A and B are shown apart, each in its own frame.
Chain A
Amino acid sequence: MSDKISGLFASMKISSTGLAAQRRRMNIIAENLANTNTTKTDEGGPYKRKIVRFYELMKKATAHKPVGARDLPLAATARGHIHSDLEIPYSTKFSGVRMDAVRDTAEPERVYDPTHPDADEFGYVAMPKIDVIVEMVEMISASRSYEANVSAINAAKDMARKALEI
Protein backbone atom coordinates (compact mmCIF):
# COMPACT_ATOMS: atom_id res chain seq x y z
CA MET A 1 0.00 0.00 0.00
CA SER A 2 1.50 3.25 -1.05
CA ASP A 3 1.57 6.30 1.15
CA LYS A 4 0.81 8.36 -1.89
CA ILE A 5 -2.69 6.94 -2.07
CA SER A 6 -4.76 9.74 -0.73
CA GLY A 7 -7.89 9.96 1.35
CA LEU A 8 -10.73 7.87 0.06
CA PHE A 9 -8.63 5.46 -1.93
CA ALA A 10 -6.72 4.58 1.21
CA SER A 11 -10.10 3.86 2.84
CA MET A 12 -10.92 1.46 0.04
CA LYS A 13 -7.58 -0.28 0.51
CA ILE A 14 -8.27 -0.68 4.21
CA SER A 15 -11.72 -2.10 3.56
CA SER A 16 -10.28 -4.45 0.96
CA THR A 17 -7.91 -5.91 3.56
CA GLY A 18 -11.02 -6.51 5.66
CA LEU A 19 -12.78 -8.20 2.72
CA ALA A 20 -9.76 -10.40 2.01
CA ALA A 21 -9.44 -11.40 5.66
CA GLN A 22 -13.12 -12.33 5.93
CA ARG A 23 -13.07 -14.26 2.67
CA ARG A 24 -10.05 -16.25 3.80
CA ARG A 25 -11.79 -16.86 7.11
CA MET A 26 -14.75 -18.24 5.15
CA ASN A 27 -12.36 -20.61 3.35
CA ILE A 28 -11.02 -21.82 6.69
CA ILE A 29 -14.54 -22.40 8.00
CA ALA A 30 -15.41 -24.34 4.85
CA GLU A 31 -12.28 -26.43 5.35
CA ASN A 32 -13.24 -27.16 8.95
CA LEU A 33 -16.77 -28.13 7.93
CA ALA A 34 -15.55 -30.34 5.09
CA ASN A 35 -13.20 -32.18 7.46
CA THR A 36 -15.55 -32.95 10.34
CA ASN A 37 -15.04 -36.68 9.78
CA THR A 38 -11.45 -36.74 8.53
CA THR A 39 -9.44 -39.27 10.48
CA LYS A 40 -6.33 -39.37 8.32
CA THR A 41 -4.15 -36.40 7.43
CA ASP A 42 -0.66 -35.87 5.99
CA GLU A 43 0.60 -34.89 9.44
CA GLY A 44 -0.90 -38.07 10.85
CA GLY A 45 -3.86 -38.41 13.15
CA PRO A 46 -7.26 -36.82 12.66
CA TYR A 47 -7.83 -33.38 11.15
CA LYS A 48 -7.27 -30.55 13.61
CA ARG A 49 -9.63 -27.63 13.47
CA LYS A 50 -8.16 -24.36 12.23
CA ILE A 51 -8.74 -21.24 14.29
CA VAL A 52 -8.67 -17.80 12.70
CA ARG A 53 -6.80 -14.92 14.31
CA PHE A 54 -6.95 -11.28 13.26
CA TYR A 55 -4.17 -8.74 13.59
CA GLU A 56 -4.20 -5.05 13.16
CA LEU A 57 -2.03 -4.06 10.21
CA MET A 58 0.24 -1.26 11.33
CA LYS A 59 3.05 0.03 9.28
CA LYS A 60 6.24 1.10 10.95
CA ALA A 61 5.95 4.83 11.36
CA THR A 62 9.70 5.29 10.96
CA ALA A 63 9.66 3.70 7.54
CA HIS A 64 7.57 6.56 6.21
CA LYS A 65 8.88 9.83 7.47
CA PRO A 66 6.81 12.87 6.65
CA VAL A 67 8.14 15.40 4.22
CA GLY A 68 10.64 17.71 5.91
CA ALA A 69 11.31 15.48 8.89
CA ARG A 70 13.88 13.56 6.92
CA ASP A 71 16.38 16.40 7.23
CA LEU A 72 16.34 16.49 11.01
CA PRO A 73 19.49 14.71 12.15
CA LEU A 74 18.00 13.41 15.36
CA ALA A 75 18.83 9.98 16.63
CA ALA A 76 16.49 8.46 19.16
CA THR A 77 18.77 6.30 21.28
CA ALA A 78 16.66 6.27 24.41
CA ARG A 79 12.97 6.06 25.12
CA GLY A 80 12.69 9.66 26.25
CA HIS A 81 14.33 11.12 23.15
CA ILE A 82 12.39 13.16 20.71
CA HIS A 83 12.10 11.30 17.47
CA SER A 84 12.82 13.03 14.21
CA ASP A 85 9.46 12.07 12.77
CA LEU A 86 7.44 14.08 15.22
CA GLU A 87 4.30 13.90 13.22
CA ILE A 88 3.31 10.52 11.89
CA PRO A 89 1.42 10.99 8.65
CA TYR A 90 -2.20 9.88 8.81
CA SER A 91 -1.80 7.30 6.11
CA THR A 92 0.57 5.29 8.27
CA LYS A 93 -1.74 5.31 11.26
CA PHE A 94 -4.27 2.92 9.84
CA SER A 95 -3.76 0.27 7.27
CA GLY A 96 -6.34 -2.42 7.84
CA VAL A 97 -6.29 -5.96 9.10
CA ARG A 98 -4.59 -9.23 8.41
CA MET A 99 -5.40 -12.74 9.50
CA ASP A 100 -3.76 -16.09 9.98
CA ALA A 101 -4.98 -19.50 11.03
CA VAL A 102 -3.60 -21.76 13.74
CA ARG A 103 -4.37 -25.36 14.51
CA ASP A 104 -6.56 -26.16 17.47
CA THR A 105 -4.51 -27.90 20.15
CA ALA A 106 -7.53 -29.65 21.67
CA GLU A 107 -7.30 -33.42 21.96
CA PRO A 108 -9.29 -35.31 19.32
CA GLU A 109 -12.60 -36.81 20.28
CA ARG A 110 -12.59 -40.57 20.82
CA VAL A 111 -15.59 -42.26 19.26
CA TYR A 112 -16.33 -45.96 19.66
CA ASP A 113 -16.64 -47.51 16.22
CA PRO A 114 -14.81 -50.87 15.93
CA THR A 115 -15.72 -51.25 12.24
CA HIS A 116 -13.87 -48.06 11.29
CA PRO A 117 -10.58 -48.82 9.49
CA ASP A 118 -8.74 -46.26 11.68
CA ALA A 119 -10.03 -47.70 14.94
CA ASP A 120 -7.41 -48.65 17.56
CA GLU A 121 -7.25 -52.06 19.25
CA PHE A 122 -10.00 -51.03 21.69
CA GLY A 123 -12.34 -50.01 18.89
CA TYR A 124 -11.99 -46.26 19.39
CA VAL A 125 -11.49 -43.81 16.52
CA ALA A 126 -9.86 -40.40 17.01
CA MET A 127 -12.26 -37.94 15.38
CA PRO A 128 -11.68 -34.22 14.78
CA LYS A 129 -13.11 -32.05 17.55
CA ILE A 130 -15.27 -29.82 15.37
CA ASP A 131 -18.57 -28.38 16.52
CA VAL A 132 -20.64 -27.75 13.39
CA ILE A 133 -22.78 -25.17 15.20
CA VAL A 134 -19.71 -23.19 16.22
CA GLU A 135 -18.53 -23.21 12.61
CA MET A 136 -21.96 -22.05 11.42
CA VAL A 137 -21.91 -19.16 13.88
CA GLU A 138 -18.42 -18.24 12.68
CA MET A 139 -19.68 -18.38 9.11
CA ILE A 140 -22.54 -15.96 9.80
CA SER A 141 -20.14 -13.67 11.63
CA ALA A 142 -17.71 -13.72 8.69
CA SER A 143 -20.52 -13.00 6.27
CA ARG A 144 -21.76 -10.04 8.35
CA SER A 145 -18.26 -8.59 8.67
CA TYR A 146 -17.77 -8.96 4.94
CA GLU A 147 -20.98 -7.01 4.34
CA ALA A 148 -19.87 -4.27 6.73
CA ASN A 149 -16.63 -3.86 4.77
CA VAL A 150 -18.58 -3.80 1.49
CA SER A 151 -20.74 -0.99 2.91
CA ALA A 152 -17.62 0.96 3.81
CA ILE A 153 -16.23 0.55 0.28
CA ASN A 154 -19.52 1.60 -1.27
CA ALA A 155 -19.62 4.69 0.92
CA ALA A 156 -16.05 5.56 -0.09
CA LYS A 157 -16.98 5.09 -3.76
CA ASP A 158 -19.97 7.36 -3.43
CA MET A 159 -17.95 10.00 -1.61
CA ALA A 160 -15.27 9.93 -4.29
CA ARG A 161 -17.94 10.31 -6.96
CA LYS A 162 -19.50 13.24 -5.11
CA ALA A 163 -16.10 14.88 -4.80
CA LEU A 164 -15.68 14.59 -8.56
CA GLU A 165 -18.89 16.53 -9.04
CA ILE A 166 -17.56 19.64 -7.33
Chain B
Amino acid sequence: MLKEILFDATRLPLLAKGLDAYALRHRAISDNIANSETVGYNRRVIEFEERLRLAKGAGGLQRTHEGHLGSGGVDPTSLDPHVVTDADKSDINDLNNVDIDREMADLAENHLQFNFASRLAKLYFELIQSSIRGA
Protein backbone atom coordinates (compact mmCIF):
# COMPACT_ATOMS: atom_id res chain seq x y z
CA MET B 1 0.00 0.00 0.00
CA LEU B 2 2.60 2.49 1.12
CA LYS B 3 4.97 1.29 -1.56
CA GLU B 4 2.26 1.87 -4.13
CA ILE B 5 1.69 5.47 -3.09
CA LEU B 6 5.32 6.36 -2.53
CA PHE B 7 6.94 4.56 -5.43
CA ASP B 8 4.70 2.73 -7.89
CA ALA B 9 2.36 5.68 -8.45
CA THR B 10 5.25 8.01 -9.21
CA ARG B 11 7.46 8.19 -12.26
CA LEU B 12 10.15 6.21 -10.51
CA PRO B 13 9.48 2.83 -12.19
CA LEU B 14 9.62 4.55 -15.56
CA LEU B 15 12.82 6.36 -14.61
CA ALA B 16 14.35 3.06 -13.56
CA LYS B 17 13.43 1.64 -16.96
CA GLY B 18 15.02 4.64 -18.60
CA LEU B 19 18.23 4.26 -16.60
CA ASP B 20 18.38 0.59 -17.57
CA ALA B 21 17.89 1.46 -21.21
CA TYR B 22 20.57 4.17 -21.14
CA ALA B 23 23.03 1.83 -19.43
CA LEU B 24 22.33 -0.77 -22.10
CA ARG B 25 22.71 1.80 -24.85
CA HIS B 26 26.03 2.82 -23.38
CA ARG B 27 27.13 -0.77 -23.64
CA ALA B 28 26.07 -0.96 -27.28
CA ILE B 29 27.92 2.28 -28.08
CA SER B 30 31.03 1.04 -26.23
CA ASP B 31 30.91 -2.10 -28.33
CA ASN B 32 30.55 -0.08 -31.54
CA ILE B 33 33.54 2.06 -30.55
CA ALA B 34 35.65 -0.97 -29.61
CA ASN B 35 34.79 -2.54 -32.97
CA SER B 36 35.22 0.64 -35.01
CA GLU B 37 37.98 -1.05 -36.99
CA THR B 38 36.62 -4.59 -37.17
CA VAL B 39 36.04 -5.68 -40.74
CA GLY B 40 32.42 -6.58 -41.46
CA TYR B 41 31.10 -5.46 -38.08
CA ASN B 42 27.49 -4.27 -37.97
CA ARG B 43 26.77 -1.49 -35.49
CA ARG B 44 24.18 -2.10 -32.82
CA VAL B 45 21.54 0.30 -31.68
CA ILE B 46 19.06 0.27 -28.82
CA GLU B 47 15.44 1.01 -29.62
CA PHE B 48 13.67 2.35 -26.59
CA GLU B 49 12.23 5.87 -26.92
CA GLU B 50 10.18 5.06 -29.99
CA ARG B 51 8.70 1.98 -28.33
CA LEU B 52 7.98 4.00 -25.21
CA ARG B 53 6.25 6.69 -27.25
CA LEU B 54 4.13 4.10 -29.02
CA ALA B 55 3.24 2.38 -25.77
CA LYS B 56 2.26 5.61 -24.08
CA GLY B 57 0.56 7.35 -26.93
CA ALA B 58 -1.43 4.50 -28.47
CA GLY B 59 -4.94 5.79 -29.07
CA GLY B 60 -4.44 8.90 -27.00
CA LEU B 61 -6.64 7.58 -24.18
CA GLN B 62 -5.58 8.13 -20.64
CA ARG B 63 -6.30 5.73 -17.84
CA THR B 64 -6.78 7.47 -14.52
CA HIS B 65 -8.66 4.63 -12.89
CA GLU B 66 -8.07 0.92 -12.78
CA GLY B 67 -11.56 0.25 -14.15
CA HIS B 68 -10.95 2.36 -17.23
CA LEU B 69 -10.62 0.68 -20.55
CA GLY B 70 -7.11 0.64 -21.87
CA SER B 71 -6.37 2.15 -25.23
CA GLY B 72 -4.63 -0.98 -26.37
CA GLY B 73 -1.27 0.41 -25.37
CA VAL B 74 1.19 -1.50 -23.28
CA ASP B 75 2.19 -0.59 -19.78
CA PRO B 76 5.35 1.51 -20.32
CA THR B 77 7.07 -0.07 -17.34
CA SER B 78 6.77 -3.50 -18.93
CA LEU B 79 8.73 -2.34 -21.95
CA ASP B 80 12.17 -3.67 -22.59
CA PRO B 81 14.71 -1.94 -24.79
CA HIS B 82 15.48 -3.78 -27.99
CA VAL B 83 18.94 -4.50 -29.30
CA VAL B 84 18.90 -4.04 -33.06
CA THR B 85 21.72 -4.82 -35.43
CA ASP B 86 22.01 -2.03 -37.96
CA ALA B 87 22.95 -3.71 -41.24
CA ASP B 88 22.52 -0.53 -43.25
CA LYS B 89 25.41 -0.44 -45.69
CA SER B 90 24.64 2.95 -47.27
CA ASP B 91 26.97 4.81 -44.93
CA ILE B 92 29.73 2.25 -45.11
CA ASN B 93 33.43 3.00 -44.89
CA ASP B 94 36.03 0.50 -46.07
CA LEU B 95 35.67 -1.65 -42.94
CA ASN B 96 32.18 -1.54 -41.46
CA ASN B 97 29.22 0.76 -40.91
CA VAL B 98 30.49 2.34 -37.68
CA ASP B 99 30.93 6.11 -37.93
CA ILE B 100 33.14 6.96 -34.98
CA ASP B 101 31.97 10.60 -34.90
CA ARG B 102 28.37 9.54 -34.71
CA GLU B 103 29.16 7.05 -31.96
CA MET B 104 30.99 9.68 -29.93
CA ALA B 105 28.05 12.08 -30.33
CA ASP B 106 25.63 9.32 -29.31
CA LEU B 107 27.87 8.54 -26.36
CA ALA B 108 27.77 12.15 -25.15
CA GLU B 109 24.02 12.39 -25.67
CA ASN B 110 23.34 9.12 -23.89
CA HIS B 111 25.63 10.16 -21.05
CA LEU B 112 23.63 13.35 -20.52
CA GLN B 113 20.33 11.50 -20.72
CA PHE B 114 21.49 9.03 -18.10
CA ASN B 115 22.64 11.85 -15.82
CA PHE B 116 19.33 13.63 -16.33
CA ALA B 117 17.29 10.55 -15.46
CA SER B 118 19.45 9.79 -12.46
CA ARG B 119 19.11 13.36 -11.20
CA LEU B 120 15.37 13.20 -11.68
CA ALA B 121 15.23 9.97 -9.71
CA LYS B 122 17.25 11.57 -6.96
CA LEU B 123 14.81 14.48 -6.93
CA TYR B 124 11.86 12.13 -6.59
CA PHE B 125 13.41 10.46 -3.59
CA GLU B 126 14.10 13.83 -2.03
CA LEU B 127 10.46 14.77 -2.60
CA ILE B 128 9.30 11.59 -0.92
CA GLN B 129 11.64 12.23 1.98
CA SER B 130 10.48 15.79 2.49
CA SER B 131 6.83 14.73 2.31
CA ILE B 132 7.54 12.17 5.05
CA ARG B 133 9.29 14.79 7.14
CA GLY B 134 6.52 17.26 6.44
CA ALA B 135 8.84 20.14 6.02
A→B interface (CB under 8 Å):
7-8, 10-12, 14-15, 17-18, 21, 53-56, 90, 93-97, 141, 144-145, 148-149, 151-152, 155-156, 158-159, 162-163, 165-166
Contact = CB atoms under 8 A, between A and B. Distances in A.
SS class of chain A's interface: helix, strand, loop or mixed?
A: helix
10 contacts: A7-B20, A7-B24, A8-B26, A11-B26, A18-B30, A54-B37, A96-B31, A97-B34, A149-B34, A159-B114
Nearest to B85: A93
B100 interface: yes
Closest 10 CB pairs of A and B: A18-B34, A94-B31, A7-B23, A54-B38, A97-B34, A11-B27, A14-B30, A162-B118, A11-B30, A155-B111
Contacts of B22: 159
Contacts of B52: none
Contacts of A95: 31
Contacts, number: 105
Q: Which size class do B's interface residues fall under?
A: 35 or more
Contact of A151 (B20, B35, B107): B107
Contact of B115 (A90, A96, A145, A162): A162
A136 to B, nearest CB: 16
Given A14-B27, A14-B30, A151-B104, 18 more contacts: A8-B26, A11-B27, A15-B33, A54-B38, A54-B39, A90-B24, A93-B44, A94-B30, A95-B31, A151-B107, A155-B26, A155-B108, A158-B115, A159-B26, A159-B111, A162-B114, A166-B121, A166-B125
